[in-house]
């Protein structure tokens, strides 16, 4: 009887250790994937590795920094574009290459050829909403703003 209890205890302990080890991140990286000052990164674990998602997100973060720096120069104002979540999904169903920032969440299909320039343009749109309000995200306020907007859009298309 004493041996049966010992065997059951060892078996239960083995199951607990096994389940605990399966829930740990394989890379030892902190979960979830987050880039400081940029966003929480969501990705399809079946279609992308954690490292692929991290590299793509770091690339988008660099683009965001470049675009914001140029926008601040063009518009001669300090401004930002806050995105809480970026979702990288190579099977994003929308036929367009990009989706708008909705509730500070941005969906990206990194397999589309122009996803970088669309990302930069969306940062510009978000910046304009912060500066001029939702009514002027696409519509210029005046002729001077129209020229600045076109210069910014031309820069965004270079990515």
Q: Has this prediction a pTM greater than 0.75?
A: no
Write out pLDDT tens, residues 79-125. Answer: 888 888 888 888 776 555 445 555 577 888 888 888 899 899 989 99
Q: For residue 14, is it within any domain?
A: no
In a domain, 4, yes or no: no
pLDDT in tens, 60-72: 999 999 999 999 9
Return the CA Rg of the chain.
23
CATH number of residue 115's parent domain? 3.40.30
Range of the domain at 120: 29-156
Exposed/middle/buried for residue 71 (C-beta within 10 Å: 0-12, 13-18, 19+): buried
Query: Does a structural domain hold residue 22?
Result: no
- Would 17 be classed as within a structural domain? no
* Residue 47 pLDDT exceeds 90: no
Q: Is residue 149 part of a domain?
A: yes
Task: Specify if 20 maps to a domain.
Answer: no
135 lies in some domain: yes
Q: Does the residue 12 lie in any domain?
A: no
Q: Domain count of the chain?
A: 1
Closest listed residue to residue 120, CA positions, set 84, 68, 85, 73: 68
Cα 113 to its chain centre, rounded Å, is 17
Higher pLDDT, 113 or 51: 51
Cα-based distances in Å from 29 to 17, 21, 51, 148: 20, 14, 10, 42
């Amino acid at each position: 009887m004493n041996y049966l209890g010992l065997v059951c205890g060892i078996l239960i302990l083995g199951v607990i250790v096994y389940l605990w080890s399966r829930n740990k991140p394989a890379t030892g990286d902190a979960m979830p994937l987050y880039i400081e000052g940029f966003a929480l990164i969501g990705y399809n674990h079946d279609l992308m590795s954690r490292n692929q998602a991290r590299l793509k997100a770091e690339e988008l973060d660099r683009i965001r920094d470049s675009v914001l720096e140029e926008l601040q120069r063009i518009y001669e104002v300090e401004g930002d574009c806050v995105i809480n979540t970026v979702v990288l999904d190579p099977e994003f169903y929308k036929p367009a290459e990009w989706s708008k920032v909705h509730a500070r969440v941005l969906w990206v299909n990194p397999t589309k050829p122009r996803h970088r320039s669309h990302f930069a343009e969306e940062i510009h749109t978000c910046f304009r909403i912060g500066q001029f309000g939702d009514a002027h995200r696409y519509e210029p306020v005046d002729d001077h703003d129209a020229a600045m907007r076109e210069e910014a859009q031309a820069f965004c298309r270079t990515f």
